[in-house]
Amino acid sequence: MMNKILGYPLMALALTACVTINIYFPAAAAEEAARTIVRDVLKSEQSEPVPSPKEGDRQSQRTQPNPLLVAFGVLLEQLIPEAQAAQADIDINTPAIRAIRSSMQSRQASLAPFYNSGAIGFDSNGSVAVRDLAAAPLKDRNRLKKLVADENADRSRLYKEIARVNGHPEWEGDVRATFAKVWAQEALPGYWYQAGGSWRQR
């Protein structure tokens, strides 16, 4: 009887833990997806593989399972297999996302001279920022401002759409932060990016 009484709180705890895991932001998958898009836009020649997380690291601290919890875990796996499967991937292959990527890619050729001159760079918020307007010819400055505005509008739509299409609109901030990191990492030689509150050149 006592085992049964103690078993119910344990089952509730197991259910809570399982559900919590399934709604975690899949950072590794999001970073891989971001790197695919960023490299596509920048036409980067870098091809270093992105390391994947090691499952063994998360299994090293397992203790001998309670038979009751094992049985309950089997039931949970049958009830929520889709949530567990969805955790492993980030979908970026939708018509809306492909259209945004195409728009950004077609704009890259116009932005490239301004990246190279140092007039603009990647800020720490996943956007493009004007770093030194004086580095752009006077006749091109209005066009540059419009290019930056259009690029940032596309980036905002991209981050929002990735979160939405993957069923978690609340992930938009995490998606943006992930892209901000990847834009800086994948910046082409000569490009500027923000890190630690200051501008740096690749």
Structure tokens, 158: 């991209």
More confident residue, 114 or 54: 114
The residue-averaged pLDDT of 136-154 equals: 98
**Structural domain boundaries of the chain?**
95-201
Q: Report the alpha-carbon distance of residue 166 to residue 4 in Å, rounded.
A: 39
pTM, whole model, 2 decimals? 0.70
Kindly give the residue spans of alpha helices, DSSP state H, lying in the chain. 2-22, 27-42, 56-59, 67-79, 81-86, 95-117, 141-165, 172-186
What separation in angstroms does the CA of 35 have from each of 47, 51, 53, 186? 10, 12, 16, 8
Q: How does residue 67 score in pLDDT terms, banded at 50, 70 and 90? A: low
pLDDT at 84 over 60: no
Q: 10-30 pLDDT, tens per residue? A: 455 444 444 444 579 999 999
Smallest CA-to-CA distance from 104 within 155, 45, 156 is with 155
Distance from C-alpha of 48 to C-alpha of 99, rounded to nearest angstrom: 26
* Average pLDDT over the chain, rounded to an integer: 80
